[in-house]
A and B are shown apart, each in its own frame.
Chain A
């Protein structure tokens, strides 16, 4: 089954404790991205990657890092989480950078930073 998976689905942590949210897709997609969803703001892009070893900032990259060492994986790293990073996070992938390609979303990771 074609899918985007994220782990963990739920995470409660404390300020400053480094964490990684994993994302994996099995569709051989070139383009992957991370979004955060906040009430009243919709989805905002954090980082995106057009291919292996190619990543770039989205609209709200501060406080986040990503890496793309393999095509299928695109982890999101919070080196020193803060309470304002409490949010619902989605990983997404599509065939390539073309917006006309359908974008597939993971199930989401709900992060709480105390």
Chain B
């Protein structure tokens, strides 16, 4: 069965510092991988996705993620965090043959001034 693990429940970074949010997945077939952001009081917004090809994918708001098959990971990165990036971030996995997506438990990001 497919599953997603986000090891960090809560991360605090200073504004302007770099960010990396971890995501590990377990899936038998070729996974489709996603990162979503949920701002307070809002629904989820897609940041980026990976299906195939270049393992480094660029998303919106200056985020990027790297797919590492050998490590079953899809970590999200941003070189310089802004206060407006404070939110909850969800990693998700799906596949072409399965209509559902599995979500991780989420990582809450706090940005210090």
Contact = CB atoms under 8 A, between A and B. Distances in A.
Interface string B43-57: 111100101000000
Contacts of B99: 31, 48, 50, 97-99
Interface residues of B, number: 25
Nearest to B102: A42
Interface string A40-70: 1111110010100000001000000000000
Instruction: Say which size band chain A's interface belongs to.
Output: 20 to 34
A90 interface: yes
Interface of B: 4, 6, 9, 32, 36, 41-46, 49, 51, 90, 94-96, 98-101, 103-106
Interface of A: 4, 31, 35, 40-45, 48, 50, 58, 90, 92, 97-100, 102-103, 105-108
